[in-house]
Amino acid sequence: MSDDHTHPGLQHHVPLSERAKRAVAIHRLLARKNIVGPDEVRETIDRARRRSPADGARVVARAWTDPTFKTRLMDDAPSAVFELGYRLSRDAGLAVIENTDRLHHLVVCTLCSCYPTSLLGQPPDWYKSFAYRQRAVVEPRAVMREFGLHVDEDVVVRVVDSTADLRYLVLPRRPSGSEGMPEAELAGLVTRDSMIGVGEARKPA
């Protein structure tokens, strides 16, 4: 593992697993060939770690308050979120799907854990679990009830399958009583679960 390039973050007194050794070797090779800069990978990781559901909440609040932005968001989500400073990963698209009084969306990744990390941060453990991935498709209403969300029987529930090529973000219904609230306060009503579909936005205090 000797190399002229010092890999940031290495603790030389801690032995590396074979997988970690392979990752470090690949990183060094890419840096040596000038395919990536020495700090580019770490900067990308740090940027991803800074993402949280607050980012997605900001997008939702803007859509609630700006009909023109909402139209752009529904038609071309990557371009619309870019206006707010969010850059998606190059290999995954984004679609925004709106919950209404008559239609409720629930997002799942049946194969693994594909998720809009650029707007929501890392997926929760339950989203990656086999139980959720299976049951969300077979019995979505039961799953939502376990999260405390009861969807009326006359509301259509549509389960959407997130993939490596296309991630989904739910635009939850704006809660009643939030009329006139500023955008920043509206964002505080938007939860991670409401943007996945297992919950709804909070009601104003």
Catalytic residue among 52, 79, 112, 129: 112
Let me know if 17 is a catalytic residue.
no
C-beta of residue 109 within 8 angstroms of C-beta of residue 163: yes
Q: What is the mean pLDDT of the chain?
A: 89
Q: Which residue has the higher pLDDT, 31 or 8?
A: 31
CB atoms within 10 A of CB 68: 8
CA distances from 174 to 12, 20, 30, 145 (A): 52, 45, 46, 20
Catalytic residue among 52, 114, 162, 194: 114
Let me know if 129 is a catalytic residue.
no
Interval 50-90: pLDDT, tens: 779 999 999 999 999 999 999 999 999 999 999 999 988 76
Cα distance between residue 153 and residue 68, in whole Å: 32
